[in-house]
Amino acid sequence: MDQTEPPFQRDSDALNLPAQLMLDQIGPNRFRNRYNQPNMFRAIFGGSTIAQALAAADRTVEGRAAHSLHAYFLRPGVADVPVEFEVERVRDGGRFSSRRVVAIQSGAVILSAECSYKTPIEGFRHQQASKVAFDPERALDPTTLIDPDPEKVPPHLKTFQRRFAVDVRLSGERGFSTKGDAERHYWLRAASAAGHDDPALQRQILTFMSDFMFAGVPLSPHTIALAGPHIFIASLDHAIWFHRPARCDDWLLFETESPNAEGGVNLTLGRVYNRAGELVASVAQEALQFPLTPKPPAA
């Protein structure tokens, strides 16, 4: 390895999303990452890969901003092995550009994504307003539920026990209980986004954040809406539409619902609002989800 390259998977980058999204260019349209955010199962957190795929595509487009990303998760990634991103310049038209990205790890494609970019266009304006009061300062900080004794932390809360670059606030107990409809709202922010004014980087960070907590929404009426030994969860695809500029160092409200769960494949839809009440993004995801039957004790 070139001794001038930074070491892969530095602990100092665990809470620093701009650092996690830095890519090294290793070919005309090929990039390699420096960090994979591990999930609680030591695989790569999906939001990390889709955000880096967008970062790779951004490096090949000038003068246009991403307005949508559609990604498919094809294989689980290994957290301690670098990922390379190959970008195909599909089209550069009069107003729009299209990029196709494949994420490759150890010779296998783990994700494919399509990213679309546009020049600014004047048109009609409207938005659907949020139904939720924007009060993250009064919401539940899940880290306060963590017992100092690691042995006493319930499995579904271990996701908040690890070092993660995103802060979370939940609306009371609805993040954990099985009450009501398949919908939740919560707030996310990334403190490491502060001081970074590049709108493209803020979109990349928002893409990272958009996959966190999202897959739990369809579980809300049925079981604890968090990953753990009670449930199998694997994201299948992910889409995000960027409507307005966002600042990820302040709280963003995720207002989410699951209109359908059937055959183990569950759908989540979400709208993302900033403190001013502006709809900054819309998100959709399908996930493979089914309950796990505990194995009987050995004879």
* Active site (annotated) includes residue 285: yes
Q: For residues 13 and 190, is the Cβ–Cβ distance under 8 A? A: no
Residue 19 DSSP label: H
Picking from 281, 268, 288, 286, the residue whose alpha carbon sits closest to that of residue 54 is 281
CA distance 148 to 215: 28
Picking from 39, 16, 53, 32, the residue whose alpha carbon sits closest to that of residue 239 is 53
Around 214, how many Cα atoms within 13 Å sit in the side-chain half-sphere?
A: 33
* Active site (annotated) includes residue 235: yes
Q: Which of 58, 211, 258, 289 is catalytic?
A: 211
- Work out the widest C-alpha separation in the chain, in whole angstroms: 70
Residue 292 DSSP label: P
Phi/psi region, residue 264 (left: phi>0; alpha: psi -120 to 50; beta: rest), is left
Residue with tokens 């009426």: 221
CA distance 50 to 207: 7
Q: What is the CA radius of gyration of the chain?
A: 19
Q: Which of 20, 52, 285, 289 is catalytic?
A: 285
CA distance 62 to 60: 7
Picking from 59, 60, 66, 51, the residue whose alpha carbon sits closest to that of residue 111 is 51
Q: Which of 235, 237, 258, 289 is catalytic?
A: 235
SS3 content of the chain, % helix, strand, coil (to 5): 20, 35, 45
Q: What angle do CA 12, 14, 16 make, to 5 degrees?
A: 80
Structural element, H or E, at residue 47: helix 46-58
Active site residues: 211, 235, 285
